Structure 1
Amino acid sequence: MKSTKVLVTGAGGFLGGYIARDLLAKGYEVYSFSRSTYPALEKMGVVQRQGDLSKYDDVEAALEGMDAVIHTASQVGMWGRYEDFYKTNVTGTENIIKACHKWHIKKMVYTSTPSVAFGEESLCNANESIDYPDRYLSMYAETKAIAEKMVMLANGGSLSTVAIRPHLIFGPGDLNLVPRVVEAAKKGKLKIIGDGENLVDVTYVENASYVHVLALEELSPDSPIAGKAYFLGQGPIKLWDFTNELLKRSGEKPVTKKISFKLAYFIGFMIEMVLKLIGKFDVHPPMTRFVALQLGKSHYYNHSNIERDLGYKPKFSIEEGLDRLFAKK
C-alpha cells in the first residue's frame, strides 16, 4: 500500500518539527518546505524542498505529488514591516491553496492563532462563534486573520481545510517564548502589567502537534471539522503565576514589580510612533500596544468544540509539559 505523502511548511521550526516527527512515527512520508535546509530534519528522514512561500512557482513545485499539506510556516513578530507579514502570511497561504487545487491535494491543515480573534478587550471563555475584531494592533494577527479566512473559504469541492489556533506554545526546542521571558527577567526589564490576575491559555507543544496530526486524519469533505477553526489551549491559568514558574525553574528570581496597564499601553504607543518616524522595523521593541494587551489582559478560550469534534484530550498536562521542558539532558 502506498504511503501518504504530507508536506509540512515550516518543519524546521518549533511546532513544525514536532509535527514532522509525529507524522513519521505514524508511517507518513514527510516532506518539508522552507527557505533553508535543516540537519535535524535530514536525520529524521524528512525530504526537504527549498523555496519561498511568497513565490507561487516555488510552492507549486514543492507540493507536486503530495496528498496533504500542514501549513505551519508564518512570519511571526510583534513589530516589522506590514508588507513582510503580508507576503509570507497572506500571499504564502494563497499560494498553498492555489497549488493544492493545481495538484488535486485533498487535505490542508492550517496553523492559525487565537490572536485572530483578539482585539483590545479581554476574552474570557470565548468560543469560535466570536467575530474577528474591527481593528488589529498586531500586523501578525491581522495578516493571520486574512489568511485564516482564505483557508475557510477554500474548503469545499476536492479540498477540505481546517484551522487550528494553538495559544502560547511552550516546550523543549522553543527559541521564542520562554527564552525571551527569561532574558528579559535577567536584564531586569520584565514587569507585571496590571494587577497580575489576568488569565490565559497555554499549550504544551506535543499537544499542539498531536492535534494537527489528529485533524489531518479526521479531515474529509463530510467531517464536522471541515471548513472550521478551533481554539486550542490548556487553562485558564494566571499568566504571571506561569511566568514566575518558568523563571523559578530557570533559576531566576520571580518578577514582582508592577506597571499599570494604561502606562504600559501608552509606552507601547510612543515606542511604535518613534520607530515608525525613524523607519526602524528590524528591531524587537521592549513594548508595543499589542504586547501590553497580551501581558495585561485575559485571553482564554472554550475548548468544548475541539473536544467534541475531534475527541481531543491533552496528552500532557501543563505541569508535565514544564517537567519535560526543564528535564536535565
Structure 2
Amino acid sequence: MKILVTGAGGFLGFYIARDLKSLGHEVYNFSRTHHADLDQIEVTTRTGNLNDPESIEAALDGIEAIFHVAGKVAMWGKWDDFYQTNTVGTKNLVHAAKKKSIKKFIYTSTPSVVFGEGDIINGDESLPYPDDSLSLYAKSKMLAEQFVLEQNSKEFLTCALRPHLIFGPRDKNIIPRLVEAQKKKKLKRIGDGENLVDIIYVENAAKAHIQAFEKLSVDSPVAGSAYFIAQERPVNLWDFINKILEVNGQSKVTKSISVKKAYFIGTIIEKILRLFKIWNIHPPMTRFVALQLGKSHYFKHDKAVNDFNYHPDIGIEESLKRITP
C-alpha cells in the first residue's frame, strides 16, 4: 500500500515510516524540508506545508492511507501558530484526503486533550474534553482530534492515538531539555515526588499506530475511536526522570518546589510574556507544565488491547537501556 506519513523526518514519525517499510509498504514523507536520513530507509519526501492545500494535494497523488504525525509541539507560544498548524493544518489534510478518496487516516493525538487541572487516575476514553485548557498546544490538538473523529465514515475511516510522554532515540525534546536543565542545576522536582504518569517508548508507540491502522475497517470498533497507549504500567515520574538523568551522566534532582508555588510562578511568567508579547521562547515554567510535572495522570489501555491487541514489546527497563548515549 502507498502510505504518507506527515513528519516522518521527526521523532515518532520516523519509526512509523521505518516500520511500515519493513512490512513492505511504499512509504512517503510529507514535510517542509527534505530529510537525508529518510533516504537511508528508502522513504521518499514530498515537500509541502500543512497550510498550503495545493502542496498537500500534490503530495497525496497515488496515496492510499495517511498517518498524520506532524504538528507544532511546545508548552508556550502564540495561539494562531498552534491553531494554524495543528488544527487548520489537520483540517486541510483531511479535506484533501477525502477529495483524493483516500480510505484510512490515522491521527497522532495526545492525552493532554483531556487534561484539566486535577489528577487523572486510571482514566479511560470516556473522559470528556475539558471546558478550557491551560495549554494552547493541547487545545489545538483537541480541536483537531474532534474534527478527525467526526469525519469518520464508511468511505473515510479515521482513528486517533494518544501516546503519553514518548521517549527514545531521536528524541530532541523531552530528554535533551531535562539533561540540559540539570546540567545548569535548574531542574527542581515539582510536588511531593509521588505522582504517577504514563510513558511510552517510541517503538511501542509506532507499533500501536500500525496495529490500529491494520485493524481500521468499516466493521471495526477502531473506526472513529480514540485510544490511550502507554507502557506496561505507569511510573513514578520523578524516579523515571532521575533514571533518565543517570543514564545520561547527570546527578539526580535534589531540589523541590510545591505544585502550588510552581503553578503561581507559571501564572506570573505567562502574564509577563503575554504583556510583552513574547512568544518564541521556552519559559522556565507555565501553569500547564507545573500540573503535568506535579500531578498524576495515567490511563487504562483496555480499549487498545481489546480493539487491536496492543501491548508494548519493549518494557520500561529495556527501554531505558536503549536511550543510554
- Which residue of 2 is the match for residue 260 of structure 1? 258
What's the offset of the Cα at 1:296? 0.4
Q: Distance in 2 between matches of 1:32 and 1:188?
A: 39
The letter for the 2-side match of 1:257 is: K
- Which residue of 2 is the match for residue 182 of structure 1? 179
The C-alpha deviation readout for 1:79-120, integer Å capped at 9, x for no partner, is 011000001101111011101111100000000000001011
Q: Distance in 2 between matches of 1:60 and 1:83?
A: 23
What's the offset of the Cα at 1:157? 2.9
1:194 to 184, 191, 197: 191
Q: Is the counterpart of residue 108 in structure 1 residue 133 in structure 2?
A: no
- Which residue of 1 is the match for residue 243 of structure 2? 245
- Which residue of 1 is the match for residue 127 of structure 2? 130
- Which residue of 2 is the match for residue 318 of structure 1? 316
- Which residue of 2 is the match for residue 77 of structure 1? 74
Structure 1 contact 9–34 (Cα < 8 Å) conserved: yes
Structure 1 contact 230–305 (Cα < 8 Å) conserved: yes
- Which residue of 2 is the match for residue 88 of structure 1? 85
Structure 1 contact 148–163 (Cα < 8 Å) conserved: yes
The letter for the 1-side match of 2:63 is: M
Is the partner of 2:228 in helix, strand or coil?
strand
Q: Distance in 2 between matches of 1:157 and 1:308?
A: 22
Correspondence 1:226-305 to 2 at 5 A = 226-234=223-231, 235-305=233-303
What's the offset of the Cα at 1:202? 0.4
Q: Distance in 2 between matches of 1:112 and 1:269?
A: 26
The letter for the 2-side match of 1:277 is: L
Q: Distance in 2 between matches of 1:157 and 1:56?
A: 24
Q: Is the counterpart of residue 98 in structure 1 residue 98 in structure 2?
A: no
Q: Is the counterpart of residue 43 in structure 1 residue 49 in structure 2?
A: no
The letter for the 2-side match of 1:300 is: Y
Q: Distance in 1 between matches of 2:41 and 2:208?
A: 21
Instruction: Give the % identical residues.
Output: 55
Q: Distance in 2 between matches of 1:62 and 1:122?
A: 41
The letter for the 2-side match of 1:162 is: C
- Which residue of 2 is the match for residue 20 of structure 1? 17
Structure 1 contact 159–221 (Cα < 8 Å) conserved: no
Q: Distance in 2 between matches of 1:312 and 1:177?
A: 24
The C-alpha deviation readout for 1:278-310, integer Å capped at 9, x for no partner, is 111000000000000100000100011101111
The letter for the 1-side match of 2:253 is: V
Is the partner of 1:273 in helix, strand or coil?
helix
Gaps spanning 5+ residues in structure 2: where? none
- Which residue of 2 is the match for residue 213 of structure 1? 210
Is the partner of 2:105 in helix, strand or coil?
strand
Q: Is the counterpart of residue 34 in structure 1 residue 31 in structure 2?
A: yes
Is the partner of 1:21 in helix, strand or coil?
helix
What's the offset of the Cα at 1:179? 0.7
Flag as ranges the 4+ runs of structure 1 deviating above 3 A.
none
Gaps spanning 5+ residues in structure 1: where? none
Q: Distance in 2 between matches of 1:73 and 1:297?
A: 27
